[in-house]
Amino acid sequence: MNQPSMFEALRGIIQRDLLLAMRRRSDVAMSVFFLVIVASLFPLGVGPEPTVLRTIAPGVLWVAALLACLLSLGRVFTADYLDGVLEQMLLVSQPLAVLVVGKVFAHWVISGLPVVLLSPLLGLQFGLSGESLGVLVLSLLLGTPTLSMIGGIGAALVLGVRGSGLLVALLVLPLYVPVLIFGAGAVTSSSAGIGGEANLSLLGACLVLSLFFAPWATAAALRIALE
């Protein structure tokens, strides 16, 4: 029997999702522009006072990143569910959790990575110092995959439910709170001169924890959704 290795299945699903994203570039651009606009609205609304902007910067940028991630969650499984590809994924001779990791990783590359790459530019708008910008990028790099992982569970749970967009926000946002606190906390403490290592370690711990548990939870939710 010519069984594919787990790695091949993982690569196959990531390649497919990235190819699909390339075909629908406008979807990807949308969440990036959303982030840029939300982050740019704050200096306009609050006023150009540098000390105020520097104080609110970590929270604002993190909340904007979180919302941008939330906005793209609906796309993770819904399309596959509607066209029957999800059924086929459940019948692949590899553990479903492996495919889930692939899909969530692709989601992160599409919606999380652009946020990480854009964040220094947005941070400059708020007058963050060089060191704080570094910590911001690092915290987003550790935090956004966690957001995608947790979001995957929510997206799988609301599959096939009417008005799922709002429901997924209600389900997932409370779970995002620790990531938000540690992420914004890392940047704040670095601007205050304490250094953000403690918060970054906690973010890393969140990532490891979600990498371990989220794929199984998502896989279980998908099986229930398709029963």
Partner 1 sequence: MLETVALSCSRGQRRLFSDISVTIKPGTLLAVVGENGSGKTSLLRMLCSLLSPEQGTIMWQGQDIRQLKELYCAQLTYIGHLNGIKDDLTPVENLTVSASLAGEKSAGARVQDALEAVGLRRPVHSLPTRVLSQGQKRRVALARLWLSTRPLWLLDEPFTSLDTAATSFVTQRLQSHLHQGGMVVVVTHQEVALPTDVVQCLRLTG
Q: For residue 81, what are the CA distances in angstroms to 156, 173, 204?
A: 10, 23, 32
Least gap, CB of 10 to partner 1 (angstroms): 10
Interface with partner 1, residue 74, by CB under 8 A: no
| Residues with Cβ within 8 Å of residue 147, at least 6 apart in sequence | 65, 66, 69, 112, 176, 179
Report the residue from 13, 61, 147, 171 that binds partner 1 according to the rule CB under 8 A. 13
The span from the CA of 58 to the CA of 180, in Å, is: 10
Interface with partner 1, residue 4, by CB under 8 A: yes
Least gap, CB of 101 to partner 1 (angstroms): 14
Interface with partner 1, residue 88, by CB under 8 A: yes
Report the residue from 18, 92, 113, 181 that binds partner 1 according to the rule CB under 8 A. 92
The span from the CA of 157 to the CA of 31, in Å, is: 22
In the three-class reduction of DSSP (H, G, I as helix; E, B as strand; rest coil), residue 52 is classed as helix
Report the residue from 59, 74, 95, 120 that binds partner 1 according to the rule CB under 8 A. 95
Nearest CA among 212, 140, 181, 169 for reference residue 72: 169
Count of CB atoms within 10 A of residue 216's CB?
14
Count of CB atoms within 10 A of residue 142's CB?
24
Which sign does the torsion angle of CA 216, 84, 159, 105 carry?
A: positive
Interface with partner 1, residue 104, by CB under 8 A: no
Interface with partner 1, residue 25, by CB under 8 A: no
Least gap, CB of 78 to partner 1 (angstroms): 13
Q: Point out which span in 15-23, 52-60, 62-70, 159-167 binds partner 1 (CB under 8 A).
A: 15-23
Least gap, CB of 155 to partner 1 (angstroms): 18
Least gap, CB of 31 to partner 1 (angstroms): 18
CB 142 within 8 A of CB 108: no
Report the residue from 47, 84, 174, 193 that binds partner 1 according to the rule CB under 8 A. 84
CB 63 within 8 A of CB 140: no
How many residues interact with partner 1 (rule CB under 8 A)? 30
Binding mask 131-170 for partner 1 (x = CB under 8 A): ----------------------------------------
The span from the CA of 190 to the CA of 57, in Å, is: 12
In the three-class reduction of DSSP (H, G, I as helix; E, B as strand; rest coil), residue 53 is classed as helix
Report the residue from 35, 89, 142, 187 that binds partner 1 according to the rule CB under 8 A. 89
Q: Which residues bind partner 1 (CB under 8 A)?
A: 1-4, 8-9, 12-13, 15-16, 19-20, 23-24, 79, 82-85, 87-95, 226-227
